[in-house]
A and B are shown apart, each in its own frame.
Chain A
Amino acid sequence: AQTVTQSQPEMSVQEAETVTLSCTYDTSESDYYLFWYKQPPSRQMILVIRQEAYKQQNATENRFSVNFQKAAKSFSLKISDSQLGDAAMYFCAWTYNFNKFYFGSGTKLNVKP
């Protein structure tokens, strides 16, 4: 079964600190794409970062980076220098053909001032 698991329903981080959100997935596909989406209180889903499975290099986008471990089917998101605006629900997702996306259950991130 194609599943995405986010084992941390909620996490908290102090402003300016670093936090890592976990995500594991299950698939038999070899080529696929992984994503982290942010959903703030406005409910607008925003793409944070994406990773192609065929690339060994971990993707980075400014303060956001991933630790992609293909063999372990793990795709964690690291947020450095956390800001108050980072507070949101974060969803991990993947697809192999862009015809269907599989989403995790989400992690609520709280940022403490």
Chain B
Amino acid sequence: GAVVSQHPSRVICKSGTSVKIECRSLDFQATTMFWYRQFPKQSLMLMATSNEGSKATYEQGVEKDKFLINHASLTLSTLTVTSAHPEDSSFYICSAQTGQGARETQYFGPGTRLLVL
């Protein structure tokens, strides 16, 4: 089956530093990649949608200058949390989508836990 990896799985950083999270589709090319944020015991909140070679589409309330998304290829998308602060601590999940029309399927990465001190 399709596999999506995320790196790192866990990161601890100091306030004010930037953190980059990678999302890779290992055995398929993803037409679209999504970035979600999940708070403890809550649902997934969509942050942005990215397509290869184009600018990401951010959801309302998500600061695009703070959460930089780069979709460099059909198998790689990165999320950079710039000047991270403790309130950015969360679980970040990416997903990669493949297929067409009714056969489109979303595959999730294992998530990255970010702790900002």
Contact = CB atoms under 8 A, between A and B. Distances in A.
Interface size classification for chain B: 20 to 34
Interface of A is mostly: loop
Interface in B10-58: 32, 34, 38, 41-44, 46, 49
Contacts, number: 42
Contact of B42 (A43, A45, A50, A105): A105
A101 B46 contact: yes
B83 interface: no
A100 B32 contact: no
Nearest to A102: B46
B108 interface: yes
A100 B110 contact: no
Interface size classification for chain A: 10 to 19
A97 B32 CA distance: 12
Interface in B83-117: 91, 93, 95, 97, 102, 104-108, 110-111
